[in-house]
Amino acid sequence: MNSFDPSTTDWNAFGSAIATYVACIAIFAIIIIALMIIAYWKILTKAGYNGAWSLLTLVPGIGGLASVGILLFLAFSEWPAMRRPAAGAVYVPPPAPYPTTPPPAGPGYYPPPPPMAQAPAPSPIAVPPVAPPVEPPAPAVVEAPTTPMEPPAEPPAPPAEPPAPPAPPADPSA
């Protein structure tokens, strides 16, 4: 008979299993919250806001509402990073990523090769490939008959011209 007998249950093993389960859930939750804070921090910084606003998700009781609120705020607000510069602002280009002058010639220096010609850009319209021209088949070889052939018959005479239509009757009143 399978009945539960609390006097024979090992409560210490049961308690340690529950504690392990809770510890795993807590570690998983901490990892998820840390990743969420990092993601919100990056998004807010790229939008031009202070990334510390992502720490609102740590406040007990309003953390979930704060994350939804941050998303709604980002969706419907004008981002400072996307604002246009003022009318009198002067554009300052970023610095060059590499030197514009070649290094001085010295031992072991070989100048770069000249740039190669670029192939034309592919057409955005798909063009079917052109098939090579097809040669007509060679005419079949007909062997000459071994018996002499009869000369061709005379062509039939052309048909006689049809009779002329009858002349209209003469007008009696004339």
- At 29-80, the pLDDT tens digits run 999 989 989 998 999 888 888 888 888 888 888 888 888 888 888 888 888 8
List Cβ neighbours of 20 (8 Å cut-off, separation of 6 or more). Answer: none
Q: State the sign of the Cα–Cα–Cα–Cα dihedral 13, 15, 21, 24.
A: negative
Higher pLDDT, 116 or 100: 116
pLDDT tens digits, residue range 111-122? 777 777 776 666
Give, as one character, the DSSP assignment of residue 174.
-
Question: Tell me, what DSSP letter sits at residue 124?
Answer: S
DSSP code at position 147:
S
The pLDDT of residue 30? 92
- Residue 153 to residues 92, 99, 158, Cα–Cα distance (Å): 100, 96, 15
